[in-house]
Amino acid sequence: MTSPLIGPSELAALEGAALLDVRWRLGGPPQREAYAEGHIPGAAFCDLNADLAAPAGEGGRHPLPSAEAFTASMRRLGVDGSRPVVVYDDADATAAARAWWALRYFGHEDVRVLDGGFRAWQEAGLPVTKDVPEVTGDFTARPGGMPVLSAQEAGALASTGVLLDARAGERYRGEVEPIDPVAGHVPGAVSAPTTENVGPDGRFLDPAALRSRFAVLGAVEDVRVGAYCGSGVTAAHEVLALEVAGVRAALYVGSWSHWITDPSRPVATG
């Protein structure tokens, strides 16, 4: 399996790729100001809320955009179907993973994430610019490139396979809930904070370490694995980490913010 990650020096030597800057903060606005202050040459700013999600509603806080909307966004950002795409955020790929997953889901076959993000690029002494590129692309979104879970399927998978909860442990346990109106988790889901997939430098653990981490949680190749979080962003990071480990996983896109829209769905705490 080709790694979905790319290092700074490898990216610097890569020619012809579309670059997307997906810097973003959970609970805050996308980091367009940070992009304006400096970014990787050739990168276009990708707004996670506007380009990688539909408006919040019954589908959760970050539901999938329509194929038509995603096509328009990616073409505006310079994405072609025939050339590679590299996405990055500040450091740990929490936001970039959503772009990676969305592009893969909508049919792009050559997408990689800059491991360590913009921080790693800067630490490598590579060039930074304030220039905004003029780009256009021909990408056409075709849904179905990555496995997804409905709420019903996610609930069932928690019993028949492994459903990983990518949120912080205290949110999983229902001790705190800073964003959604109901605290807790899908019954049977396993706590697997996605922050434990990366080191202090924001880079992913090596594949062997990730395989060991997920094996302890029961997420191995011969088991059906899924992931969710609060709104489908950090769960995409979990799916990316699993991909690095060699385990294909399905994403419950609506995640907890969608699960709790139906009061008949059970909630577990502890």
Structure-block tokens of residue 179? 């964003």
Per residue in 150-163, is it b (16+ CB within 10 Å) or e — as a string?
A: ebebbbbbbeebbb
* Alpha-carbon distance values, 208 to 65, 92, 94, 241 (Å): 34, 18, 21, 11
Q: Which amino acid is at 268?
A: A
Catalytic residue flag (residue 46):
no
Show the DSSP H helices in the chain as ranges.
8-13, 32-37, 48-51, 67-76, 96-105, 117-123, 151-160, 169-172, 207-216, 234-245, 255-259
Of 232, 260, 253, 213, the C-alpha closest to 95 is 232
Among 77, 99, 229, 251, the active-site one is 229
* Alpha-carbon distance values, 133 to 114, 180, 230 (Å): 19, 37, 33
Q: Name the residues annotated as catalytic.
A: 229
